Amino acid sequence: MFRSIHILTGATLYERPPQSPAEFQTALSALRQRQRHFAAQPVTARTALLSAFAQRLDAERGRLARMVSEEVGRCLTECRAELDKSVELIRYYTRLAPELLAHKTIATQASLSQVRFEPLGVVLAVMPWNYPVWQVLRFAVPALCTGNACAVKPAPSVARISNALFELVGGDIPLIPAWLEHADIPQAIADTDALAFTGSADIGRILAAEAGGRLKKTVLELGGSNAFIVLPDADLRQAAKDACYSRFRDAGQSCNAAKRIIVTEAVAEPFIRLFLDECAKLQTGDPLDAQTTLASLHRADLRERVHAQVLDAAENGAQILCGGEIPAGQGWFYPATVLDKVNPACRAYREEVFGPVAAILRARDAEHAVELANDNPYGLGASIYSADEAAAWRYAEKLHTGAVYINRHTSSDLRLPFGGVKASGYGRELSEFGLYEFVNIKTYWQK
């Protein structure tokens, strides 16, 4: 069952049954026909349809942001930012796609040789709950620009906002929901032409195996445990402020957040004091309240997992500097929690902690900080704070991640590729590189 509930009251906001496999096949057949018509249009015609969709989304962003806040649990200000960025994403690609997808003529001994970018067909996407608008559009908009159609399986717990988003899409754009049971996803992979997945590494491995067995193209964004490295010459006050924002925004439920704060021993004590001061400023409460800066987690089981990771860390030598207790009351709140001296015996050292918990690891020096950063299954992003930017760039080259930010917390930018290595997945979204993921890069040669 696809069911959205109010994060505080538990009231049902929306529910609907899943599609049967036969119903999905009917929808998929119709989508394939629409895809062929859509792909036959010039890219400027496709981008015009997407531009009109951006206007509709822009007009409804306040209503949709409130929906996200109520059923995901994130602060309303954060949800508004998600909608703003989603609108800008569409406008970014509609501006650039005609140029980036133009046929490229290459000089050879042929009278005419070209490279063209042609769609793969129907791309299936299996999407998470934490950014129910942004995650869908981040994958779908570039795929649509290239002439693909998209069938999106939303997370069951964000059905209302997902339904509202697809109602805004309209009938001219081949982007539809796939209200599928988890058990029906393997067959859906077999029946479509490519797969995009955002979620856990465990599920990503399963779906990648399903797609790989059928030689279907995949792009996987599987989360992360980003290192936030603080070197001795860093601006400690700014680093502490940025680390707090990055770790606790969206209640810590972001793949690209700073999760492991690696601080050199020389400045560990002053940095931790500043960091705890910033954490103390966070306000827990109703996510619709403008004063709230630390909202609820999304579900009870997610909070239980986070708390179990905290207790495990304490049992294995880490120190709880603040937080670490489940509060009473409605909602799935968890306090801002800081663990010091996290070590390899702790689950939080190697696992992704998807909630408001910061793990502090102490490094002997900069080289050791890089070693600790790389000693993790994930490789999405990292930050390095240092006054010596040249040295920071040298250390950045040693980090096994998809992105490194110097003197800034990790984030995503429409103009830059987003994705990771190792257990954080493969493939890229955003920028021109994201535009080319779901295309057949096809060579033409004329004698």
pLDDT digit string (tens) for 235-252? 999 999 999 999 999 999
Q: Give the angle subtended at the CA of 238 by the CAs of 365 and 344, to the nearest 5°.
A: 40
Does position 230 have pLDDT exceeding 90, yes or no? yes
CA distance 106 to 414: 28
Does position 219 have pLDDT exceeding 90, yes or no? yes
Residue 353's SS3 state is coil
User: CA 69 → CA 8, 213, 251, 299, distances in Å?
Assistant: 11, 38, 12, 13
For the question of whether the overall pTM of this predicted structure is more than 0.75, the answer is yes
Q: 297: exposed, middle or buried (C-beta count within 10 Å: 0-12, 13-18, 19+)?
A: buried
Q: How confident is the model at residue 108 (pLDDT cuts 50, 70, 90)?
A: very high
Does position 25 have pLDDT exceeding 90, yes or no? yes
Q: Give the angle subtended at the CA of 321 by the CAs of 316 and 327, to the nearest 5°.
A: 95
3-state SS, 134-202, equals HHHHHHHHHHHHCCCEEEEECCHHHHHHHHHHHHHHCCCCCEEECCCCHHHHHHHHHHCCEEEEECCHH
Place of tokens 């989304």: 57
Of 8, 164, 167, 156, the C-alpha closest to 76 is 8
Q: How confident is the model at residue 311 (pLDDT cuts 50, 70, 90)?
A: very high
What's the pLDDT at 221?
97
List CB contacts of 225: < 8 A, sequence separation 6 or more: 259, 260, 350, 351, 352, 353, 376, 377, 378, 380
Say if domain 2-222+422-446 classifies as CATH 3.40.190.10.
no
Place of tokens 């067959």: 187
Q: Across all residues in the chain, what is the average pLDDT? A: 98
Stretch 17-30: mean pLDDT, rounded? 98
The tokens for 25 are 């096949």
Of 269, 339, 294, 247, the C-alpha closest to 73 is 294
Of 233, 235, 236, 261, the C-alpha closest to 248 is 261
Catalytic residues: 221, 255
Does position 330 have pLDDT exceeding 90, yes or no? no
User: CA 96 → CA 43, 47, 100, 131, 264, distances in Å?
Assistant: 11, 9, 6, 24, 43
- Paired with 337 in beta bridges are 357
List CB contacts of 367: < 8 A, sequence separation 6 or more: none
CA distance 170 to 322: 48
What's the pLDDT at 409?
98
Q: Strand 2-5 relative to strand 12-16: parallel, antiparallel, unpaired?
A: antiparallel
| Amino acid making up residue 85 | K
Of 3, 343, 42, 313, the C-alpha closest to 160 is 3
Q: How confident is the model at residue 257 (pLDDT cuts 50, 70, 90)?
A: very high
Say if domain 226-406 classifies as CATH 3.40.50.2300.
no
User: CA 146 → CA 43, 94, 151, 304, 349, distances in Å?
Assistant: 7, 11, 15, 42, 41
Stretch 132-157: mean pLDDT, rounded? 98
The tokens for 38 are 């859509």
What's the pLDDT at 26?
98
| Amino acid making up residue 368 | H
| Residue extents of the structural domains in the chain | 2-222+422-446, 226-406
Stretch 176-205: mean pLDDT, rounded? 98
What's the pLDDT at 247?
98
Q: How confident is the model at residue 158 (pLDDT cuts 50, 70, 90)?
A: very high
- pLDDT, tens digit (0-9, with 9 covering 90-100), for 343-360: 999 999 999 999 999 999
The sheet with strand 226-230 has its strands ordered as 319-322, 337-340, 357-363, 258-264, 226-230, 381-385, 403-406
Task: State the alpha helices, DSSP H only, in 387-427.
Answer: 389-396
CA distance 217 to 143: 13
